[in-house]
Every structure is written in structure tokens, then in C-alpha cells.
Structure 1
């Protein structure tokens, strides 16, 4: 009987010890393991499609200008390599020619992609535009890399060049961002009173440091209807490392020293 009681007591001790160990595991060790376990990263937000908002053409004597208004609705992702294809069609819907225009799209940007002085030998009925089916997006840290430009327009005049009359638009662009760039693209679009595109010009500013200001000139053949307003969109390729100037000094001080003239 004594041996049986001893066995029962030992069994009770073993059961209590195992229960105590299990309690410690349940209360202390298992929760602490959960603290070090990382939750799976949330899936990235879905990319919104690039939007071609409008396509316009401006016909001249023997050439045509093509303009596509493109919007990237993704605020933190851009497309370093983006090619638009303009397909020129006749009245029967037959393809006359195609023009590919490589460019880039900054995050959350609106861009006018323009091809100027395309030679045509027959009437163009309409233009169809195709874009990449699966553009490759790149996330951009907007706090550091996003360019910032301010621009305003000055005088707009008419000038004779040979046997052609041109509308000349002069303006100023200021680099209000934190980085300087070796090349800044500038596109200007002229609109009439009915908001129809009547002129388009492209130029570029050379090296433009942070805080610097530069004059630019745009031109296009004199439209048949009067130009009521001009929209200017400076742009630069932040995906090209060679395009970004090394930072020297304090960009904030440079911006303070820049003088910005009021719009006329």
C-alpha cells in the first residue's frame, strides 16, 4: 500500500509539474514568440491605368503636328520608359503611317506628348494613339526626387520668318525644387477662345540649378484662330542619374536668392 501511495504521489507531482510548465509556455513564451513574428507585408496598392485624355492635330501646308494629353494618376509611381504610337489613318480607316514617340511619365503627372512637323502626302482623316499594354512603373520618393518648376508667360508676338508667319511666346521658368538638372524639357500649348488646341511648341532649358531662373521661347505657325491662352509644362527626366546635378550648397538658400517676376 505504501508503494502504491508513493506512485500516486509521484504521478500527481509529475502531472502538476507538466501543468506548470504548460502554463508558463502559454503565458510567457508563446506570446513572446508572437512579438518577434512579423506580419506579412500588405500588398502594394493596385496601379491605376495611364489615361490618354485627348488627341489633337494641327494641320499645316504639308505637315501635321500631333499632340496627346496623357495623365498618370499614380501619385508615387512613374514610368521611366513610355512610348506612344501615333497611327495616322485615311478616310477609309487605312493606315498611312505610324510615329513612335518615346518619353517618360513622372508620378501624378499631366503631360502633353507632341510630335511636330510630320510630313504628310495625303489627307489625314483621324489619328489613333496606342500606349504600352503593361508599362513598367517605378516607385519614387517624392520628398526628395520630385522636381518642382514654376513658370510664367511674358510677351507673345507675331514674327515673319521667310514666307511663314509664326507666333512667338516668351516666358520664364524657375527651378523651385531641391535638385538641379542638366536638361529641362518645356512644352507649350496654345488654345483659342473655344479651348481648342491651335498651336504647340517645344524647347528646352539647358543646365538649371536649384533656384535658378531661365528665359525660354516657344514658337508655332500662326494659327487660323486667335490664341486666347497658352499652357506651359516644364518637365525633366528624374530617372536618368546623369540628368541630376550634384547638390552643392543649401538649395533653400538658392531658392531664396532667386527673383521671380510677376506674370504680365
Structure 2
């Protein structure tokens, strides 16, 4: 079985993977309202808008998975929290569904936005993505968490496809909130499957079995991207807090003034 596994960490810069067929993208710009707090003082900053690499949907039997890849071009600024809306359209460009979500993005990060198991009355034609930015935050002093996935297995069974492995935290720190996104890329780097699992708490040196399930048989010839995500902006993501952080609550208050 021809497959290649790539493991990405959410705190690392991930090279841009350009896929064919960018669909549509809009972004609200509220940068004039964006404040950050540095050493107790507030100042207005204007970061570059997030960039969208692609937006697409994947049919999974009678349901659909929505996926977009976005990148943050800013060296030091990111969002600890931002909103996005997938807008699913039919052949006549009529709106079938809006699906809202929230995520975070770190400086110089490239990441996937995923919404799974969407039920629709008719087959979609294309998808738009709208991003509603949050408050820019500066992230300077942080150490890169280190994860690896051991014993990776990609099996196509009679009625399902299974990807599994052992997620190992090789960092010096223990994390309270860890999730992993799986992206399957087929011919021409076309997305043929997306999924997500939550590992929860992961102590330093601990291993956790992770598994991704898809209904039906997916392609055997795929490249696999595993993206481990930890929101380093939020202190509750850690069981051991480290480094100098910009307080999210203080940023929210500064915006209201």
C-alpha cells in the first residue's frame, strides 16, 4: 500500500501546500479594533489578513465533510480565537447551509479548518469560506511542543477505512488539551478524506492511542498529513504553564474600552 505519513505540529511553521481548485473566500477586516497587550500596556496593531490556500468538500457516503486550509503570514502575531463560516452552495449558487466554527492560529502557521458529518438535502457544487478575525496577540517566548505518532496503520476494510497510531508527547511539558487532524491526499493533492480526534490530556512522555474512522473504502494510494494542535495562547492548554504570555482576557477588555 503506497502511502506517506507527514506529522505537523500546530506550533511549527508548515510549508504551504497549494491544491488545485480554490473555490471562494471572503474575510471581514476589523483590524482597526484589534488591540494587543504587551507588558501591561495596550496598543493597536494591524496584522496581515489570513490567507486561504483552498476551500473544498469531501463526500463521505450520505454526508459531507468541509475543509479549508489557511495560513497566517505574520511573524509574531496570531489569533487565540477567531470565527469562520463555511457557506455551501448548489448548482444555482443557492445557499444550502452555513456552518460556523471557531479556531486559533499561531504566527506563521498553516492549518486546516474542518467541519465533519454535514447532512444536506442535495449535492453541493462549491463552498465559500468567511473568516471573522479575532484580536491580534503577540507570541514571542514559547517552546515548541514535540509529538510523534508511532505504529501508524492505514487499513481499508470491507465497510470502513481506519487510520490509527500511538501519539507520544516528547515535550518537557504536559498538555491538557491536545487534538489531531488527519488529512488524506490523493492524486494531484486532492483531499479525499478529513477527520479529527481529541487526545485530551497528555502528560510529558505519555502515549495515547488515536484512531480515525471513515465509512466506506477510501483510496489506497494516499499521502497522510497528521496535524497535532495545542493552543499555546491559552494557559488552560497546559498542565505546566511556561514562558511569557499575552493575557487573552486582558486583550478582550482592551477592545471594549
* Secondary structure at 1:177 match in 2: coil
1:190 equivalent to 2:188? Answer no
Rounded to whole Å, the distance in 2 between the matches of 1:182 and 1:200 is 24
Call closer, same or farther: CA 1:75–1:166 in 2, change over 3 Å. Answer: farther
Cα gap change, 1:44/1:179 in structure 2, threshold over 3 Å: closer, same or farther? farther
Give 5+ residue unaligned stretches, structure 2. 1-42, 243-257
- Give the C-alpha shift of residue 97 in structure 1: 1.3
Query: Would you tell me which structure has more strand in proportion to its own residues?
Result: 2
Alignment of 1:150-161 (within 5 A): 150-151=148-149, 154-160=152-158
**Contact 1:149–1:234 under 8 Å retained in 2:** yes
Q: Distance in 1 between matches of 2:176 and 2:110?
A: 21
In the other structure, the counterpart of 1:143 is 142
Query: Displacement, 1:61?
Result: 3.4
Q: Which fold has the larger relative contact order, with Cα–Cα distance below 8 Å and residues 6 or more apart in sequence?
A: 2
- Deviations along 1:29-84, whole A, 9 cap, x unmatched? xxxxxxxxxxxxxx998522211111121113321100111111223222011111
Partner of 2:79: 79
TM-score (norm 1): 0.68
**TM-score (normalizing by structure 2):** 0.70
Who wins on radius of gyration, i.e. which is larger?
A: 1
What value does the CA root-mean-square deviation take over the aligned residues?
2.4
Q: Secondary structure at the match of 1:194?
A: helix
| Change in CA separation of 1:68 and 1:50 when aligned onto 2, cut-off 3 Å | same
Cα pair 2:56 2:126 within 8 Å, conserved: no
* Alpha-carbon distance between aligned partners in 2 of 1:99 and 1:167, rounded to the nearest angstrom: 26
Cα distance, 1:152 vs. partner? 5.0
Q: Name the SS of the counterpart of 2:196 in structure 1.
A: strand
Structure 2 residue aligned with 1:251:
none
Q: Indicate the residue corresponding to 1:102 in structure 2.
A: 102
Of stretches 65-74 and 223-232 in structure 1, the one that deviates more from structure 2 is 223-232
2:201 corresponds in structure 1 to 207
How many residues of Structure 1 are paired with residues of Structure 2 in the alignment? 200
